[in-house]
A and B are shown apart, each in its own frame.
Chain A
Amino acid sequence: MTTKRSNEWPEQIERLYREQGRELWALFYAHCSDAERAHDALQEAFTRLQEQNGEPIRDMRAWLLQVGRNWLRDVARRQKIAARSSEHLDLHPGEEGEPILSLVRQELQDEVRKAMDQLKEADREVLVLRYALNWSSHRIAETLNTSSSAVDMRLSRARKRLAEILERVGIEK
Chain B
Amino acid sequence: MSARSSQQKPRWSDADVDSLLYDFFRQEMPRELQKDVASETRSQEVVSSASRPAATLERPNRSAATAGLTVAACCLLLAAVVFLTPNRNPASPDNQVVAAPQPNERGARPAGTNRSEPENREAVAAVPPRRASAPVPGGVVPVELQARTFWGVTVTFEVPSDFDWEQWGNIQINELPELDDAPRGIVPPLDDDRDE
Contacts and interface: CB of A to CB of B under 8 A. Distances in A.
A139 B63 CA distance: 14
A138 B30 contact: no
Contacts of B53: 138-139, 142
Interface in A98-157: 105, 109, 112-113, 116, 127-128, 130-132, 134-139, 142-143, 156
B68 interface: no
Contacts of B27: 91-92, 105, 109
A134 B13 CA distance: 19
Interface residues of A, number: 43
Interface string B70-86: 00000000000000000
Nearest to A24: B33
Contact of A159 (B6, B14, B33, B35): B14
Secondary structure of the B contact surface, majority rule = helix
B194 to A, nearest CB: 53
B20 A156 contact: no
B56 A132 contact: no
Nearest to A161: B17
Contacts of A116: 24
Interface stretch (A4-12, A44-52, A66-74, A162-170): A162-170
Contact of B33 (A22, A128, A134): A22
B158 interface: no
B21 A21 contact: no
Contact of B29 (A22, A138, A162): A22
Contact of A109 (B6, B24, B51): B24
A111 B31 CA distance: 21
B12 A143 contact: no
B55 A135 contact: yes
Contacts of B46: 19
Nearest to B35: A22
Nearest to A19: B43
B128 interface: no
B6 A136 contact: no
Given A128-B25, A167-B6, A21 B50 contact: no
Which of B9, B30, B40 counts the most chain A CB atoms within 10 A?
Answer: B30
B150 interface: no
Nearest to B63: A136
Task: Please name the 6 residue pairs, one residue from A and one from B, whose CB atoms are nearest each other, closest first.
Answer: A163-B12, A132-B25, A131-B21, A61-B48, A35-B28, A19-B43
Interface of B: 6, 9-14, 16-18, 20-22, 24-25, 27-35, 39-40, 43, 46-48, 50-53, 55-60, 63
13 contacts: A21-B32, A22-B34, A39-B30, A39-B33, A91-B27, A112-B20, A127-B21, A131-B24, A132-B29, A136-B63, A137-B60, A159-B17, A172-B9
